[in-house]
Chains A and B, each alone.
Chain A
Amino acid sequence: MAAAPQPGRRRRTRLYALTDGRTAASRHGLTMDTLITATDDAGHGHGSLPTEWQEILAMCPAPNGRAVAEIAARMRMRLTPMVVLLGELLERGLIRHRPPLDASETSNVHLLMKIRDNLARL
């Protein structure tokens, strides 16, 4: 049985239903700053997908897509339910994810210099 909606808060329970009631943390390692990009497969049969899914896919075009936090904010969902929903899309091959750079990459002098140079030219 699904948990009763909390009183006094408007919840989009349909989304939870769409994830087969899954509420556990994602197994996919989707963090708030993971970039999500719609796959080419997502372009086919869009019409049969739930509206919320279509909205998400439409806001994550290649190449850069959007971070999980940004999708959550634009869909007005909290992070955890959004991660669960994105995990579902990932399993269906509708999105790709690009995790944030790890410590060995973010301490790379060349990358840091490129970021600095680019910021300086903003």
Chain B
Amino acid sequence: MPAYDTAAPEASPVKILIAGGFGVGKTTLVEAISEIDPLRTEERLTSAGVGVDDLDGIESKTATTVALDFGRITLTDAGVVLYLFGTPGQERFWFMWDDLLLGALGAIVLVDTRRLDRSFAAIDFFESRGLPFIVGANCFNGEQSYSTEEIRAALHLRDPETPVLLLDVRSREDVRGCLLALLDRLLAQARVTAPV
């Protein structure tokens, strides 16, 4: 790392992805713990060859605007600025967006147990790319009629050790608990790879 001639040390950016289907509460989760109001940025992606099996995919090349909602947590003692990026709803565009995964610590996949199928794409994507993730099942109105074991079984997770947590995405405590669970998972994997 080059030394900068500033008095205060500069923090390094790190990011965690918040994935899950439309309406599952990604932005609410970010809002619950971010030190800033969630921001939205957009990118225009050209989707050559994407969705060729779609009946409506008449054009061979289309451009789509995808939106990212994100927040930030400055972790001064750790020397990092943690950005939480909510992934765009159109999962089929993610793989074209290398920026999205590059340098990500890991991900939280939010699931709505009433619509589990909406989370399959995110789980498949992270499993195929080898990005560590945990699953958070949002308890809408504080209720969850399934156990974490039932949710885990229904999701067919490739790694049975993948943590599955119940949370209320509006709760700062719950969201922090999810982030800590993800960090524990990352730590366990890092210790296996490089024992200290």
Which A residues have a C-beta under 8 Å from some C-beta of B?
31-35, 37, 62-65, 67, 69-70, 72-74, 78-80, 96, 98-103, 105-122
The secondary-structure label for the interface of chain B is mixed
- B170 to chain A: which residues have CB within 8 Å? none
Which B residues have a C-beta under 8 Å from some C-beta of A?
4, 6-15, 33, 39-44, 65, 68, 70, 72-83, 85, 99-100, 102-103, 105, 176, 179-180, 183-184, 186-187, 189-191, 193-194, 196
- B8 to chain A: which residues have CB within 8 Å? 62-63
Distance to closest chain B CB from A108 (angstroms) = 7
- A32 to chain B: which residues have CB within 8 Å? 41, 68, 85, 99-100
Q: Is the CB of B39 within 8 A of A80?
A: no
Q: Is the CB of B180 within 8 A of A67?
A: no
Q: Is the CB of B105 within 8 A of A33?
A: no
A-B contact pairs, 14 of them (CB 8 A): A31-B102, A32-B41, A62-B8, A63-B10, A65-B10, A67-B13, A98-B10, A107-B190, A115-B82, A115-B183, A118-B76, A119-B73, A119-B176, A121-B77
A58–B183 alpha-carbon span in the complex (Å): 33
Distance to closest chain B CB from A28 (angstroms) = 13
Question: How many CB-defined contacts (below 8 Å) exist between A and B?
Answer: 146
Distance to closest chain B CB from A40 (angstroms) = 9
- Our pick among B7, B33, B43 for the contact of A122 (Cβ within 8 Å) is B33
Decide yes or no: A79 and B103 within 8 Å by CB, A35-B10, A109-B190, A115-B82 being known contacts: no
Q: Is the CB of A69 within 8 A of B70?
A: yes
A122–B187 alpha-carbon span in the complex (Å): 19
Beyond A35-B10, A64-B10: 4 further Cβ-contacts under 8 Å?
Answer: A63-B7, A64-B74, A107-B189, A117-B77
Decide yes or no: A120 and B189 within 8 Å by CB, A74-B39, A109-B196, A115-B82 being known contacts: no
Q: Which residue of B lies closest to A32 (CB)?
A: B99
A111–B187 alpha-carbon span in the complex (Å): 10
A105–B15 alpha-carbon span in the complex (Å): 13
Q: Which residue of B lies closest to A106 (CB)?
A: B105
- A34 to chain B: which residues have CB within 8 Å? 13
Q: Is the CB of B183 within 8 A of A73?
A: no
Q: Is the CB of B6 within 8 A of A70?
A: no
Q: Which residue of A lies closest to B74 (CB)?
A: A64
Q: Is the CB of A122 within 8 A of B103?
A: no
Distance to closest chain A CB from B139 (angstroms) = 21
Q: Is the CB of A116 within 8 A of B13?
A: no
Distance to closest chain A CB from B62 (angstroms) = 14
- Our pick among A73, A96, A118 for the contact of B4 (Cβ within 8 Å) is A96
